[in-house]
Amino acid sequence: MKKLYSALMTAFNDDGSIDEAGIREMVRYNIDVNKVDGLYVGGSTGENFNMNHDQKKRVFEIAIDEAKDQVDLIAQVGSLDLNESKELAKFVTDLGYPKISAVTPFYYNYTFEEIKHYYNEILKGVDNKLLIYSIPALTGVSLSMEQFGELFENPKIIGIKYTNADFYLLERVRNTFPDKLILSGFDEMLLPALALGVDGAIGSTYNLNAKRAKAEMIAFDEGNIEKARQLQKESNDLITALIKNDIYPSLKLVFNEMGVHAGVTKEPMAKPTPEMRAGAEKIYNDYLK
């Protein structure tokens, strides 16, 4: 059975400090209600790149303390500061995270040799397994099949969190590296990703929509493609509504509607407006109630 991971959100207070109780509530909801297979901690959905070093470490501590050994955990440790990435990789490994992940280094148009060095350095001296976090729409970094192959020469690099709309490349990578773990990162394209043989999915909307996504995976595995298509359509209606309402604040607002205290987004992300709150209430009533 393919695995479903929620990309864990980080609850913040209005002043930008971490809301520990809110993070714990979201972990518990994902485990107890959503029945996810795992959590991806410290990724884009967790607002990792809006956090300082100490906040990142505290989120990693809270998530693993609350989840314990109940689900698989992946810690995203990538940073433009390689020393920080290396320190976080050691930190989460010592905490007991069984897998780490790292976004491709971005902004400065790094060469592939620099990217390869970055991943190998993160893993040097760390007894852990790593998933490359490939998200070209945000990083501007598109790795080729040959470049993935070079990175896979490091035996500690076990796969990819593939958040990329290039499904031709996905098919080529999947069939060239059948033993590597590939987790789809675009919630709105779960069904075509399943058709191309991914091992599961990681996504932000699974915090709210895991039951529907898991039902879609089951329908696909059973060969009921029409049911899977209908469930993907329903999920995409939800995703479209979230995007129109400003997705990151809205994910938290809808969680609040569901009785889970998700806090607010951290500036410079937008704080909720009355219009956003009304939109989130409608999203909950229309798609999740």
Binding site for pyruvate: residue ranges? 45, 202
Catalytic: 29?
Answer: no
Q: Which of 2, 56, 129, 161 is catalytic?
A: 161
Q: Can you read off the two tokens belonging to residue 261?
A: 């205290």
Element spanning 127, H or E? none
Which residue ranges are tagged as binding site for aceneuramate?
44-45, 163, 185, 187-188, 204
3-state secondary structure 66-82: HHCCCCEEEEECCCCCH
Tokens of 197: 């043989």
HSE-CB for 22 with a 13 A CA cutoff? 21
Give the C-alpha separation, 150 to 60, whole Å. 29
CB 46 within 8 A of CB 9: yes
CA–CA distance, 205 with 187 (Å, rounded to integer): 7
Binding residues: 44-45, 163, 185, 187-188, 202, 204
Distance CA 81, CA 215 (A): 40
Amino acid, res. 269: M
Closest CA to 78 of 138, 153, 38: 138
Is residue 83 a contact partner of residue 121, using CB atoms and an 8 Å limit? no
Region label for 25, one of left (φ > 0), alpha (ψ between -120 and 50) or beta (otherwise) = alpha
Active site annotation includes 124:
no
Identified catalytic residue from 5, 40, 97, 133: 133
Structure tokens at 86: 């290396």
Beta bridge partners of 4: 201
* DSSP 3-state of 272: coil
Active site residues: 133, 161
